Amino acid sequence: MHDIVLGERSTTDRILRALVYAILIGFVLFYLAPLYVMVVTSVKSLEEILAGGLLNLPKKLDFYGWDEAWNNACVGTECRGMAPFMINSLIASTLATIIPTAIGALNGYALSLWRFKGSELFFGMLLFGAFIPFQIVLLPMASFLGWIGWSSSLTGLTFTYIVYGLPFTTLYFRNFFVSFPIDLVNAAKIDGIGYFRFFWRVALPSSVPIMIVSVIWQFTNTWNDFLFASTMTKLESATVMVALNNFVEVANGVKRYNVDMAAAIIAGLPTLVVYLVAGRYFLRGLMAGAVKG
């Protein structure tokens, strides 16, 4: 009788598990459907696209859309493709990732392991910057950039990204270092190991998980930003998201969907690659201390 009950329970568990997997697979397919349409559309000829069959595989691979999107697609009145705007985004996002991560690591280290008088107040004021809506500071920030001569430039946009990234990176590293063994810090002080030496030799190497969190967060947020990029740059310094929004891909009165889809995929590839390469470390970093403190 006991074996019969166990057998029935095992069968029920298998059915429920299969049902859960089926639901999850359905959600995955639903989520990936737009990406599939984008990919297959980007490698079809315009004639095949206009003939219909949105979900059909291409009869023949045609990379015309990719070539046009990268080299010749029009952004406003300029027809020079995605390449220069990708470079702008790469420069801005890379600098706006490295600099706030480095400064945030030092800030978090000082605010958690080498606390000073007023450190909690300083941290609270710095953290307040993470909750200020971007729209509120658009005009003040634009005025400040104009005052220092960085208005409508890639330098000014990068500076804005760095300033707005500091509260987040400081929060990540501070909460990570809070869980660091304080006895180890006290022993280092007794042995005469200074602030920066302990940081370079012990604290920083141990913070790699949270460093990955900071890098992924900063890079994806700055790369995907449209608000700051659209208001603080001009055409020559525009990022890829601004360029994508301003695409005008019409030939002989016909919308070139293959070029549009190729451009959208190109714009999203860097963040996709970042998550594919380092995405599994993102959750590990969060669990290692990014949500503590």
Sort strands 250-251 and 254-255 into parallel, antiparallel or unpaired.
antiparallel
Per-residue pLDDT of 234-261, as tens digits, reads 888 889 998 888 876 665 567 788 888 9
Q: Where are the alpha helices (DSSP H) in 61-153?
A: 64-67, 83-112, 119-128, 138-147
In this prediction, residue 290 carries a pLDDT of 43
Per-residue pLDDT of 119-169, as tens digits, reads 788 888 888 888 888 788 888 888 899 899 898 899 999 999 999 999 999
Residue 256 tokens, joined? 């070139």
In this prediction, residue 253 carries a pLDDT of 62
The pTM of this model reads 0.83
In this prediction, residue 239 carries a pLDDT of 92
Q: Note the residue count of the chain.
A: 293
In this prediction, residue 86 carries a pLDDT of 92
**Beta strands, E only, the chain:** 74-75, 78-79, 250-251, 254-255
* Domains in the chain with CATH codes: 2-72 (no CATH), 81-290 (1.10.3720.10)
Ranges under pLDDT 70 in the chain: 1-9, 75-78, 248-253, 279, 282-293
Cβ–Cβ < 8 Å for 203, 102 = no
In this prediction, residue 128 carries a pLDDT of 83
Give the Cα separation of 130 and 149 in Å (integer): 26
In this prediction, residue 158 carries a pLDDT of 95
Cβ–Cβ < 8 Å for 152, 266 = no
